[in-house]
């Protein structure tokens, strides 16, 4: 079984953590598509979030990882996309539940409030946790807006 394809992106506040996570994922054998930013220079996170979210919606990547200072901006932006379920995680239990109960396909990390080893563990848990389905399927289906 091949490892899932991962899309990763951030703003300037998440750049250092993104680079660490990207390196760790690549070392573990994951194919990682980096959507930027590529420096510490101040940027507008939606410019990086929308292309990443579109790649997950189109199934070009199986999961996304988004990072900004608080994780709120990237999560709000990603969740504008109908096919995205972006969840903010600050510990492994939240990361696990986002997958188990909400079938999240994007994890959003608050770079200013977590340490790199904790982020690495949250991503590992997120990527290795399956959606439970069952009663949660009905709830996830109700998240969609009807056109």
Nearest CA-CA partner of 100 in 63, 135, 131, 138? 131
Catalytic residue, candidates 68, 81, 108, 136: 68
- For residue 32, give Cα distances in angstroms to 12, 13, 64, 126, 139: 19, 20, 10, 15, 30
108 is catalytic: no
Annotation marks residue 68 as catalytic: yes
Q: Where are the alpha helices (DSSP H) in the chain?
A: 15-27, 46-57, 72-78, 92-102, 116-128, 135-141
Cα separation, 21 vs 15, whole angstroms = 10
Of 2, 5, 40, the closest CA to residue 19 belongs to 40
Residue 98's region, left for phi above 0, alpha for psi from -120 to 50, else beta, is alpha
Among 12, 50, 81, 101, the active-site one is 101
Q: Which residues are catalytic?
A: 68, 101
């Amino acid at each position: 079984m091949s490892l899932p394809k991962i899309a990763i992106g951030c703003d300037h506040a998440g750049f250092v953590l993104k680079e660490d996570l990207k390196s760790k994922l690549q070392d573990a054998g994951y194919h990682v598509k980096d959507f930027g930013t590529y420096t510490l220079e101040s940027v507008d996170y939606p410019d990086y979030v929308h292309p990443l979210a579109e790649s997950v919606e189109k199934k070009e990547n199986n999961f996304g990882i988004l990072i900004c200072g608080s994780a709120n901006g990237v999560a709000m932006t990603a969740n504008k996309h109908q096919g995205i379920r972006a969840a903010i995680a600050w510990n492994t239990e939240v990361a696990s539940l986002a997958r188990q109960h909400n079938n999240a396909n994007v994890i959003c990390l608050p770079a200013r409030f977590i340490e790199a080893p904790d982020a690495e563990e949250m991503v590992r848990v997120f990527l290795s946790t399956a959606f439970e389905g069952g009663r949660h399927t009905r709830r996830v289906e109700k998240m969609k807006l009807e056109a």
